[in-house]
Amino acid sequence: MLDGRTKVVIIGAGFSGIAAAKELRHTSVEVTVIDRQNHHCFQPLLYQVATAALSPADVAWPIRHVLRKQKNTTVLMAEVRAIDTAQRRVETDSLSVPYDFLVLATGAAHSYFGHDEWAEVAPGLKRIEDATLIRRRILIAFERAELAMDAAERQRLLTFVIVGGGATGVEMAGAISEVARQSLARDFRRIDPTTARIVLIEAGPRIMPAFPPNLSDYIRRTLIKKGVEVMSATRVLSCDEHGVDLEHGRLDADTIIWAAGVVASPAAHWLDVRHDRAGRTNVGADLSVPAHPNVFVIGDTATVVDQPGIPGIAAAAKQMGRYVGRLIAAHAAHRPLPPPFRYRHRGDLATIGRQAAVVKLGWFELRGFLGWLFWSVVHIYFLIEARDRFIVAFTWFWEYVTFQRGARLITQVPPTERS
Ligand SMILES: Cc1cc2nc3c(=O)[nH]c(=O)nc-3n(C[C@H](O)[C@H](O)[C@H](O)COP(=O)(O)OP(=O)(O)OC[C@H]3O[C@@H](n4cnc5c(N)ncnc54)[C@H](O)[C@@H]3O)c2cc1C
């Protein structure tokens, strides 16, 4: 508190970091939000960018713009490299920032289970850059198939493998199938895009294990109706640029998408504190780190020791962010502190493409078109900016009635993807 104001540094402007910052907007504290990107990304709609339904700017907003009305908040675009808890400083690639309270909200990344070399051939979906890379690969695969002279090569180019049968894998498989069978169906002359093979591979016994078996079975049947091959209880042994090796053989494919695992950001490593097997920092009931009561870890990069099983979803991240914001505001104002954090699970949603989604809110279940409508309203409601709510709603409606995919441009093709 050098100049008398409490300094709060929030690292990460994802769902949890933004929620914490917003909770501090009417307080006397000085907030600094640090993110390595200049935008907040609405990850639940990234698959729509990856499958050319939406443009990147429809699902991401400059952090400065999101927080522009908060006069007590400074936004810095910098990459955090280390934390000096003794000196209470955050070390970034460009400057060192002092703090009284620190909030780590740095999210998670893909886990390739010790095979990071697969990342090059099997990108995951986490950031805007991932979505545009995947979009480019999908669209280029069709273009190259149109040029291919050899039938086997054409089939390989038209084979899309998605590894991981959780929400992202299911959404991607359903959306790629619609790109092939509807949006592109009449756009090519030498190939028939509807013959594309879309294969969803899951190591566990069933896809969408977070849902009860009847809903997970409904999702499987809906995907199969959309032309997706669902391979559960199938382990991927390796990936390369020509396909994947499975326990029971080889699958040649040009496009491989990784949706199989996540690992937390290195927050626990920066603090040199305990973490779980997925790298998530152990935090106590007030989301602070044991031994560092002024340091909080929230969202996908935290595990609350006395509440195991809090899912890595936006709702949980936002609840943690709001809680820590309230707690720090109370600390700074010398008010009584709120009771320990309690996660409230409101339900699970997943979409399988046009007209099909699954909603489970306690005993209440919806599926099919009604589920999809519910899913759409919830996602548009949660988009931050009113303008973007309108754009997303309009784009979806237009795509729905015309079967068009508006964001199908292939740009910035690196040399390796040209040949
Ligand atoms: C494809 C996909 C689909 C999803 N779909 C859904 C869904 O339908 N419903 C749902 O509820 N949840 C969904 N999720 C999960 C949800 O998006 C996450 O749980 C949520 O984003 C976690 O919020 P967070 O604040 O912990 O991290 P994030 O939102 O990931 O934000 C972390 C931030 O930290 C920044 N950062 C990281 N490291 C550094 C560093 N070293 N220096 C500076 N900044 C750094 C990043 O740039 C990022 O802005 C989905 C996730 C993905 C990837």
Summarize pLDDT for 70-123 with one digit per residue, the tens: 999 999 999 999 999 999 999 999 999 999 999 999 999 999 999 999 999 999
Predicted local distance difference test score (pLDDT) of residue 76: 98
CA of 23 to the centre of ligand 1 (A): 19
Among residues 23, 30, 171, 178, which one is catalytic? 171
Output the CA–CA distances (angstroms, integers) from residue 85 to 71, 101, 299, in the order listed.
27, 11, 20
pLDDT in tens, 382-397: 776 666 778 888 877 7
| pLDDT beneath 70, residues of the chain | 1-3, 384-387, 400-401, 403-404, 406, 413-419
CA atoms of 92 and 146, how far apart (whole Å):
47
Instruction: Please indicate whether residue 385 is annotated as part of the active site.
Output: no
In ligand 1, the atom with minimum distance to the C-alpha of 18 is 25
CA of 15 to the centre of ligand 1 (A): 7
Predicted local distance difference test score (pLDDT) of residue 414: 66
CA of 199 to the centre of ligand 1 (A): 26
Predicted local distance difference test score (pLDDT) of residue 3: 62
Residue of 106, 297, 304, 318 best suited for mutating to test ligand 1, as the one with most atoms within 8 Å of CB: 106
CA of 60 to the centre of ligand 1 (A): 12
Identify the CA nearest to 300 among candidates 279, 274, 286, 284. 279
Residue of 9, 10, 15 best suited for mutating to test ligand 1, as the one with most atoms within 8 Å of CB: 15
Predicted local distance difference test score (pLDDT) of residue 267: 98
Residue nearest to atom 5 of ligand 1 (CA): 44
Question: Using a 6 Å CB cutoff, which residues line ligand 1?
Answer: 11-17, 34-37, 43-44, 46-47, 79-80, 105-107, 125-126, 167-168, 265, 299-301, 312-315, 317
In ligand 1, the atom with minimum distance to the C-alpha of 125 is 1
In ligand 1, the atom with minimum distance to the C-alpha of 301 is 26
Predicted local distance difference test score (pLDDT) of residue 395: 78
Predicted local distance difference test score (pLDDT) of residue 151: 96
Count of CB atoms within 10 A of residue 95's CB?
Answer: 11
Residue nearest to atom 7 of ligand 1 (CA): 44
In ligand 1, the atom with minimum distance to the C-alpha of 379 is 8
Residue of 35, 36, 43, 359 best suited for mutating to test ligand 1, as the one with most atoms within 8 Å of CB: 43
